Amino acid sequence: MGNGTKLVSLATATVFDRLTSPTGMNANLAALSAADRVLAKPVEPEQVRTQNAPLDLAERSSPLRYPAVSVYCEKIVNDLHEKFRRFSGHVAMTIEIRHSQDRLYGLQDGLELYIDSIAQLLDNERGDWGNGMFYAGGYEVALGPVKHGGRNFVQTAKITFRIEVSGN
């Protein structure tokens, strides 16, 4: 666990796998859509990227399918709270959702369904994530303003959370 880049890759891949698994984001999305009587398109694994790229750059580099999801590590903290370990701290992870549609009406409602499906996934996935990673729960959601882009209008939300890491 001493190598920071290996830790970033491992944590990002672990979150990606949990998001795209059969019991992941789409399973929750289907249940939430039915309850709210709102149609939310499932997110295919190709729509989930493991990179931190601004929306305008991502749209110019390759065609995006919406909703677009990005998973990335924002920060590694080795605060050595467990004595005699080489790494004992946390990684700060972000799941960014970009939702777009041609009308302004209902844009945030659709985005909120994707947020709720990820929040429900995180609530259900508390515990040992393997490889010295442990998710204790808790997250923060930040909604961005509606902007011009995508299919006409686009809105972004960031879900941030911590994964505790311990390793030699």
- CB under 8 Å to 128, separation ≥6 — which residues? 134
Q: Write down the domain spans for the chain.
A: 4-167
- Which CATH architecture is the domain 4-167 placed in? 2-Layer Sandwich (3.30)
pLDDT tens for 142-153 read 999 999 887 789
- Can the peptide bond before residue 67 be classed as cis, meaning omega within 30 degrees of 0? yes
- Report d(CA 165, CA 151) in Å as an integer: 39
Show the tokens assigned to 155. 């809105």
Q: What is the CA radius of gyration of the chain?
A: 17
Against a cut of 0.85, is the pTM above it? Answer: yes
Q: What pLDDT does residue 58 have?
A: 72
Lowest mean pLDDT among 2-11, 17-26, 103-112, 157-166: 2-11
pLDDT at 59: 72
The predicted-structure confidence for 52-90, as pLDDT tens digits, reads as follows 877 667 777 777 889 999 999 999 999 988 888 888 999
Cα–Cα distance, 98 to 53 (Å, whole number): 12
Distance between CA atoms of 13 and 88, rounded to whole angstroms?
20
